[in-house]
Structure 1
Amino acid sequence: MSAALQGSLFDCAGQAGLGDLASAERTDLGAGAWIDVLPGWLTGADALFDRLVSDVPWYAERRRMYDRVVDVPRLLCFYREGSPLPDPVLTDAMAALSAHYAGELGEPFRTAGLCYYRDGRDSVAWHGDTIGRGSTEDTMVAILSVGAPRSLLLRPRGGGDQLRRALGHGDLLVMGGSCQRTWEHAIPKTNRPVGPRISIQFRPRGVR
């Protein structure tokens, strides 16, 4: 199904734990957009990756692209508000993010979308999370990455200089403010040999 995961040497032998969100480094993107990045926020990320591969009911989607229907190049699973998350670590992560960002976001994170990138052929095209409230309101999307690092690219909507962040092995990236409306992000395909990665996207109510 995928390449084997090359574990991180710094992953604390599978013991799960969350770091201090106050240590996240914020980058101001302009026009009210920002990102916070915290490498290695989650320890025990490789063990969590293995559990998610086994326990999540992954599914494939097909979508219309111009005049044909194509496979979405990644596996998916979405946990709606009130649905139990597939691992207690994710429940703890959502609670920690909700508490830390309560003052800025004004509401808790409520849903979790999971994407499984099996190898370098899996990807997601340029987009913003603008289905629902994100199209008109400032919001946040927090992405926790487990598995092998993949490059997440960000660029101003309409084009411009790109930012690149390699995310994996428990790294956290939070996109806030106007980021979903004024910037786009993507996981590009790559011909380089890369291991599998799972991203967990925590969102507030009404944001997709």
Structure 2
Amino acid sequence: MHPLQGSLFDQSPAAGLGELSALERTELGQGAWVDLLPGWLTGATALYDRLAAEVPWRAERRPMYDRVVDVPRLLCFYGEQAPVPDPILATAREELSAHYGPELGEPFRTAGLCWYRDGSDSVAWHGDTIGRGATHDTMVAIVSLGAPRALLLRPRGGGASLRYHLGHGDLLVMGGSCQRTWEHAVPKTRRQAGPRISVQFRPRGVR
């Protein structure tokens, strides 16, 4: 297991959730927006350790040009009928659904987990446009556990990027047209980077 040096401010073994009323929204234009709440989930270091040890992580390979390459991160996906791997994640999904329900019009239903083991793990520029995200406004809520890593956003087609350093229980929600009009990425880094687990909650039919 890839070791994690936890935050000095997040050593509680019991996970808990803060108030979503403290979210701060940034309007990106073209109907896209991002909400941010640092440290929403407390006890994130202990939760990271549990997920790293207990989730049935898998490595994937995907075709790229004329060859098949390893996906540079480990993955696990929990569909609508699958119980998520820790009770606090079920509570987090319920609270996010209650908070965003009037705006989203539906609950969050799935949970995708990505394990970035070190700075060589990454995800390229993309939007979550498999399914309804390609044509409809939607939301993707990300809870970050472990060491902070940069998550970048830029307008689709290129342009200046925004940078968020997410870890230690931070919550970031991409909403509105964000998946269609913006892209996001977790780039590789040559700097020393500890491991991070990203938990993504999505509505039905969005990947």
Quick check: TM above 0.5? yes
Q: Hey, what's the Cα distance between the residues in 1 that align with 2:88 and 2:198?
A: 14
Pairing 1:127-146 to 2, within 5 Å after superposition: 127-146=126-145
Aligned-pair identity in percent equals 76
Aligned to 1:115: 114
Question: Is 1:82 matched up with 2:81?
Answer: yes
Range that drifts further, 133-142 or 11-20: 11-20
- Deviation per CA, 1:90-131, whole angstroms, max 9, x where unpaired? 000000000000110000000000000000000000000000
Q: Hey, what's the Cα distance between the residues in 1 that align with 2:53 and 2:21?
A: 32
Q: Hey, what's the Cα distance between the residues in 2 that align with 1:105 and 1:192?
A: 38
Q: Hey, what's the Cα distance between the residues in 1 that align with 2:55 and 2:107?
A: 23
Aligned to 2:27: 28
Structure 2: tracts of 5 or more residues without a match: none
Give how far 1:22 is off: 0.9
Residue type of the alignment partner of 1:44? G
Q: Hey, what's the Cα distance between the residues in 1 that align with 2:122 and 2:11?
A: 29
Aligned to 1:56: 55
Q: Hey, what's the Cα distance between the residues in 2 that align with 1:82 and 1:90?
A: 14
Aligned to 1:147: 146
Q: How many residues align?
A: 207
Q: Hey, what's the Cα distance between the residues in 1 that align with 2:90 and 2:81?
A: 11
Question: Is 1:162 matched up with 2:197?
Answer: no
What is the TM-score with the length of structure 1 in the denominator? 0.98
Pairing 1:100-111 to 2, within 5 Å after superposition: 100-111=99-110
Residue type of the alignment partner of 1:42? L
Aligned to 2:5: 6
- Deviation per CA, 1:33-75, whole angstroms, max 9, x where unpaired? 0000000000000000000001100000000000000000000
Secondary structure of the residue aligned to 1:14 is coil
2:11, 2:46 within 8 Å by CA — same for their partners in 1? no
Q: Hey, what's the Cα distance between the residues in 1 that align with 2:13 and 2:183?
A: 33
Question: Is 1:46 matched up with 2:45?
Answer: yes
Residue type of the alignment partner of 2:183? E
Give how far 1:12 is off: 4.5
Secondary structure of the residue aligned to 2:7 is coil
What is the TM-score with the length of structure 2 in the denominator? 0.99
Aligned to 2:36: 37
Give how far 1:13 is off: 2.0
